[in-house]
Amino acid sequence: MVDVTVLGAGVSGLSVAWACVRRGASVRVIDPHGVAAGASGGIVGALAPHVPENWNDKKAFQLESLLMARAWWAEVAHAGGKDPGYGQTGRVQPLADEAAVALARDRATGARSLWQGRATWCVTDAPGPFAPASPTGFWVRDTLTARIHPRAACEALAAAITARGGDILRAGSADGVVIEATGAAGLATLSAETGRAEGAGIKGQAVLLAHDARDAPQLFVDGVHIVPHANGTTAIGSTSERDFDAPDTTDDLIDPVLAAARAAVPALAGVPEIGRWAGVRPRARSRAPLLGPHPTRAGRWIANGGFKIGFGMAPLCAERLAAAILDGDDRIPDAFRPDASRPTRPASGETGREAG
């Protein structure tokens, strides 16, 4: 018997498991496919903030999570001895016209207030050597954006959990408090149980290049992320596909994304590919993470729906959910909660077949 069982060994499940282990709970993680087998096994890892304007609870939550990430991931690395590839290296974005420059300057004013002086957003004419061309000669540079290597981060979490006595299994009994972190498959199951669309899987494809710019900021150009990683590679991504035939294979839809990155950054022209990746990311109906008591399964909890911001939100989502479950300190934002007004049904003692 354990205190907590987490179904799903992606970043959401592993992060919650780690937060529970940190509080002294005995934890079991079950995923029949293994660690980071789904969307969390990707290669891009852009931990980018929302723009500092039209502030709301979701943006404030993301800010807090991004600000705590450096220390949080450092503790994970220390506990398990594996590097998650985290680095708060910032981000550069070209500004296309004078209207974009003016808007960026307004946002810089917002960032000075909203980001509490702990990170900056500024307009610059000196972006550094690893940067795309800008029609205006100006770029946005922020210091809040960070990078992480998704698969390495999940492996680092798994190592930290097992180093503190937790179990990560492919099958087993769901004892204690059960947390479902089952990604796109879990959203589909939840939709079937509630009778409404609670979210969907959105496919993404990305490319990894053999270009070492590990100390440079990441770039965002015309919707394309260009992320230099600490291991000397650079990731390009990603597509966003609602309709697809194969969830985990790449095709020619990623080619225009790669071409756009090479055209924007001459240093990437001719750089050989290391590999390509595809996976289905879970996007909740609200576009905010889905976090809190399960609406149809009494006694269970959900951690799902991270989509493109899952890794950036993971530290604070995990800590808030663990605090609610283990300490009775429930400070989960109302906008993140599953609809608790529906009747619940008893949970069956499943073995994690939905996980992944």
> Token pair of 236, please?
């390009």
Q: Which residues of 294-328 are buried (b: 16+ CB within 10 A; e: fewer)?
A: bbbbeebbbbbbbbbbbbbbbbbbbbbbbbbbbee
Cβ atoms of 167 and 3 closer than 8 Å:
no
Cβ atoms of 231 and 297 closer than 8 Å:
no
- The amino acid present at 290, given as its one-letter code, is L
CATH T-level topology, domain 4-86+145-200+285-346 = FAD/NAD(P)-binding domain (3.50.50)
Sign of CA dihedral 303, 332, 225, 272: negative
* Angle CA 179–180–186, to nearest 5: 170
pLDDT (tens digit, 9 = 90+) per residue, 39-82? 999 999 999 999 999 999 999 999 999 999 999 999 999 999 99
Distance of CA 226 to the CA centre of its chain: 16
pLDDT at position 345 is 38
- The whole-angstrom separation of Cα 341 and Cα 15 is 27
**Cα within 13 Å of Cα(65), Cβ side:** 25
- The whole-angstrom separation of Cα 341 and Cα 295 is 7
Contacts of 99 (CB under 8 A, 6+ apart): none
Kindly report the number of other CB atoms within 10 A of residue 186's CB atom. Answer: 27
pLDDT at position 146 is 98
C-alpha torsion angle, residues 114, 117, 118, 123 (rounded to 10): 80
**Strands 199-209 and 139-142, how do they pair?**
unpaired
pLDDT at position 243 is 96
pLDDT at position 339 is 75
Q: DSSP of 221-275, one letter per residue?
A: ETTEEEEE-TTS-EEEE---BSS-S-TT---GGGHHHHHHHHHH-GGGTTPPEEE
Domain positions in the chain are 4-86+145-200+285-346
User: Burial, 153: exposed, middle or buried (Cβ in 10 Å; 0-12, 13-18, 19+)?
Assistant: buried
Q: DSSP of 102-134, one letter per residue?
A: HHHHHHHHHHHHHTTTSS-EEEES---SS----
Cβ atoms of 193 and 348 closer than 8 Å:
no
**Strands 199-209 and 273-284, how do they pair?**
antiparallel
- Sheet containing strand 167-169, strands side by side: 167-169, 27-30, 4-7, 177-180, 300-304, 290-293
- The whole-angstrom separation of Cα 181 and Cα 184 is 9
- The whole-angstrom separation of Cα 74 and Cα 328 is 26
End-to-end alpha carbon distance in the chain? 22
pLDDT at position 26 is 98
- pLDDT, averaged per 10 consecutive residues of the chain (356 residues), comes to 97 98 98 97 97 94 98 98 98 98 97 95 96 97 98 98 98 97 97 94 98 98 97 97 96 97 95 97 94 95 96 98 98 88 38 27
Kindly report the number of other CB atoms within 10 A of residue 116's CB atom. Answer: 11
